Amino acid sequence: MAWPDTVRRVSNDADALVEAFHAQTDRRPAGVWAAPGRVNLIGEHTDYNDGYVMPFALAQRVLIAAAPRQDGSWSVTSLNNHSTETFESADLQPGMTGWQAYVAGVVWALEEAGHRLGGADLVLSSDVPVGAGLSSSAALECAVLTALADLNDLDIAGLERAKLARRSENAFVGAPTGLMDQAASTLCTAGNALFFDCRTTEAEQVRFDTSSAGLEILVLDTKTPHALVDSEYAARRASCEEAARLLGVPALRDVSDVDTALQQLPDPVIQRRVRHVVTENARVLEAVSVLRAGRIADLAPLLDASHASMRDDFEITVPPVDLAVEVARGSGALGARMTGGGFGGCIIALVPAGEAERIGREIAKSFATAGYGPPVHFTAVPSAGAQRLQ
């Protein structure tokens, strides 16, 4: 989900943030921490069905400079929003709104889990596009968590950090997401995609070196406002849970024979939702085999099939997203799909190296013709997960 932001672009390097921290608090930070946004290569709406996902971390990230405070209270400045918010741990209540809820929620989740925290001054900046399905909120949560764990000498393993960040998003902010985004932000490593089993929480780093295959990943943000995302996301999740109940399985992950399952479901909408989840899980497993064998180009048909499944069965795409995917393919992409929760946001396309710019421009032209606003694109390189920088 996305934290509200005016999306002011800020210089996002650690030294600039240290200077900003000094200007804000008149002292030096104890450190600077970072946590990335992600794209999901494949495995959409499978995480909360106990299924499989395969995201990788972006170079775009949230940076946080922090120093402990003696008075136990919290002060948080967002350079993107140009605002400073303060709060006391004792006053934190689930349901808080605004960008600061993603910070306060992490404080709340850590304390709820029994960790003792002192207050802190935090100054943050982000270059993760907001509202684009690239997990700007998970990046913020995981950056705060990484900083607070270090500042308070808390020994919390990566997976546990992801779970705490998700707890804050689910129970404090109130978004019923799965674990994928926080797992990606904390567990991903440079050069790899993360094959993550959301039931067992087993994680495998799978080499994803597109350049060795003469390919690259184009990410194109359609800039489509996705007003429906929260309610539609919750509705999809509810349908999946209802389907699992009707089928008598703990989660849709447990459906092995999709045809038999569909025969047991009377409602065509629920049938389509189930078909998406079951086939998408199978596509993730196929994608893992393809990457393990170094056959990156063979991802393309899986990306295409995933998009068709999200469009026709899970019904989470919107016309600009479908147009971007079609034009990407028509302009030379090997395969393309929407990435993230849906109802707008980004597509990813597997394209020949050096072609991303041209294909991005072709999509922009088609958007102008269709009367849509200009999209924004970049190429994505699998990057490091949350870490201390200084």
* Catalytically annotated residues: 181
Site map 5..44 versus ligand GLA, x via CB under 6 A:
-----------------------------------x---x
CA angle (267 as vertex; 264, 268 as ends), nearest 5: 105
Note whether 130 binds ligand GLA by CB under 6 A. no
Residue 299 carries which side chain, given as an amino acid letter? L
Cβ(46)–Cβ(179) below 8 Å: no
Under rule CB under 6 A, which residues in 334-363 are in contact with ligand GLA? 340-341
Nearer to ligand GLA, 47 or 127 (CB): 47
Phi-psi domain of 136 (left: phi exceeds 0; alpha: psi -120 through 50; beta: other)? alpha
Q: Using CA atoms, how far apart are residues 220 and 185, in angstroms rounded to an integer? A: 20
In angstroms, what is the minimal distance from the CB of 138 to ligand GLA? 7
Owner of token pair 């005016």: 6
In angstroms, what is the minimal distance from the CB of 137 to ligand GLA? 8
In angstroms, what is the minimal distance from the CB of 69 to ligand GLA? 31
How many chain residues touch ligand GLA (CB under 6 A)? Answer: 13
Site map 45..84 versus ligand GLA, x via CB under 6 A:
x-xx------------------------------------
Note whether 3 binds ligand GLA by CB under 6 A. no
Note whether 181 binds ligand GLA by CB under 6 A. yes
Cβ(55)–Cβ(36) below 8 Å: no
Note whether 375 binds ligand GLA by CB under 6 A. no
Nearer to ligand GLA, 96 or 180 (CB): 180
Q: Using CA atoms, how far apart are residues 364 and 373, in angstroms rounded to an integer? A: 9
Which range, of 90-98, 110-118, 174-182, 219-227, touches ligand GLA by CB under 6 A?
174-182
Owner of token pair 């085999």: 289
In angstroms, what is the minimal distance from the CB of 135 to ligand GLA? 6
Strand, coil or helix: what is 237?
A: helix
Distances (CA, A) of 287 to 124, 253, 306: 36, 17, 11
Cβ(5)–Cβ(53) below 8 Å: no
Cβ(61)–Cβ(307) below 8 Å: no
Q: Which residues bind ligand GLA (CB under 6 A)?
A: 1, 40, 44-45, 47-48, 135, 177-178, 180-181, 340-341
